[in-house]
Amino acid sequence: MPVAWADIAGWKDDDHLEAFRTFRRSCRAVTTGQLPAAAGQKVLGTSLREPCRAAKGVANPDDAKARAFFETRFRAVRISRLGEADGFVTGYYEPIIDGSRTRTDVYTVPVYRRPSNLFVRGFTQSAPSLPNSGPVYRKIGRRKLVPYYDRAEIEDGAIAGRGLEICWLKSQTDLLFTQIQGSARVHLEDGSTLRINYDSYNGYPYTAVGRILIERNIIPKDQMSMQRIRQWMTENPDGATELRRQNRSYVFFHEVKLSDNDEAVGAQGVPLVPGRSIAVDKSLHVYGTPFFIEGELPIESAQAKTPFHRLMIAQDTGSAIVGPARADLYFGAGSEAGRVSGRLRHNMHFVMLVPNSLDPIARGRTMPLPEKRPSAKIARLFPAKDRKPAVTPQPPAVGPAGEPAGTTAVPAAKAASSGTVPSPVMRPEVRSDRHPRRHHRRRWRSPVR
């Protein structure tokens, strides 16, 4: 829904110059890089190129010029989750952890690079980047493909001893949270720092361990945070192993040549800006898109309701960032950034800035909508609480891997009913001279990090 700039709470009070500088950093990739073919299917398509060229020509920018740039080059459109008034935000950061280049009595948990036997349809095994959604396989012999090892198998040594170790960490908990965040600064024993970034994953859907703790009534929902999860895992090492392995997804890393002063590099290929960069659903949005996010967040403390009115730039993606009004806010590196980001799970107002060259209403008519929900009568036969995810992804008969959306593929839902459901009466055969309709299965995923 279009909205006037004057009607956006907090818009006039933001630091537009800082947002402009972050936007212009994204523009380097937008104007000089080769946009993927899928860009034309997204909301903004390739329309960001025009305001990016204009941003390059802004001389000696200040806050007034920056605000005028956004207000004259874009129109504001309020967006939300389908059928709801708000969007949803979480936070992420870059952990700083201790590690070693070699295994010791203290550092026993390996951080693996991408294995050579990891295979994704449509990509070579040496491709610089692989999709972070869809099935992933390993080859047996010359032709046979089977699902890749899951977390439990890898932790138990399925790929150990192949020279894949980048470094070693103190605990599986450190590794799990590094995998969730997608990057880390590893302080080595000699005082140097090793920087690692996400490379690929094993093809299994991400399962949020925090959600499991809530469902098991171990940690109340209103007390859930990354710190509480860590505390519980430390106090319950055996339970932590079982809980961790509920998340069968496993992330592989690669080493990046960054100094201690450099920020982590997002999926767009540009350094992230704490407090200005966000991760979005790559299948829907184009990197570089500005979003104004407004509401209250627990920034100053866990109980605080700090006003948050800020223009953010889409520069990254994540495995649980699904939907049009869904964002992961980047807070930088270190323990304080981790404390703040770890307590964010909040509804917020979203305004997307759409280039003037694009008509959002006309563009919206071409965007696909989710399939309709089943009728109430059918839904009662298959209650959601009885649905269980499939445990093993099966290789597709044909076709490439799922689209690269910074998110994981969804397991097929297996419906079950507590009562006995009578079989339907067989219909009489009816012949038709019309061509049969082709049905396509759609994949769904819960928006959880």
pLDDT tens track for 87-132:
999 999 999 999 999 999 999 999 999 999 999 999 988 888 888 7
Domain membership of residue 231 (yes or no) is: no
Q: Is residue 313 part of a domain?
A: yes
Q: What number is the average pLDDT over the span 13-31?
A: 95
**Lowest mean pLDDT, pick from 99-103, 247-251, 347-351, 373-377:** 373-377
Q: How many domains does the chain have?
A: 1
53 found inside a domain: yes
Helix (H, G, I), strand (E, B) or coil at 310: strand
Report how far residue 56's alpha carbon sits from residue 45's, in angstroms, rounded to the nearest whole number.
20
**CB under 8 Å to 436, separation ≥6 — which residues?**
none
Q: Roughly how many angstroms between the first and final C-alpha of the chain, as a whole number? A: 27
| Residue 226 DSSP code | H
* Residue at 241 is within a domain: no
Is the pLDDT confidence value at 378 over 50? Answer: yes
Of 40-49, 314-323, 345-354, where does mean pLDDT reach its minimum?
40-49
Q: Tell me which H or E stretch contains 307.
A: strand 306-316
Binned at pLDDT 50, 70 and 90, residue 274 comes out as very high
CATH code at position 327: 2.40.40.10
- The answer for residues whose C-beta is within 8 angstroms of residue 412's C-beta and 6 or more apart is 389, 390
Residue 389 CA to residue 217 CA, distance in Å, equals: 21
Q: How far, in Å, CA of 421 to CA of 378, rounded?
A: 11
For residue 176, being part of any structural domain is answered with: no
Residue 301 resides in a domain: yes
Q: Is residue 38 part of a domain?
A: yes
Average pLDDT over residues 310-316: 97
* Domain carrying residue 281: 5-90+270-364
Q: 299: buried, middle or exposed (CB in 10 Å: 19+, 13-18, 0-12)?
A: middle
Angle, in degrees to the nearest 10, between helices 237-244 and 226-235: 120
> Does the model's pTM come out above 0.95?
no
Q: Is 78 part of a structural domain of the chain?
A: yes
C-alpha span between 19 and 273 (Å, rounded) = 10
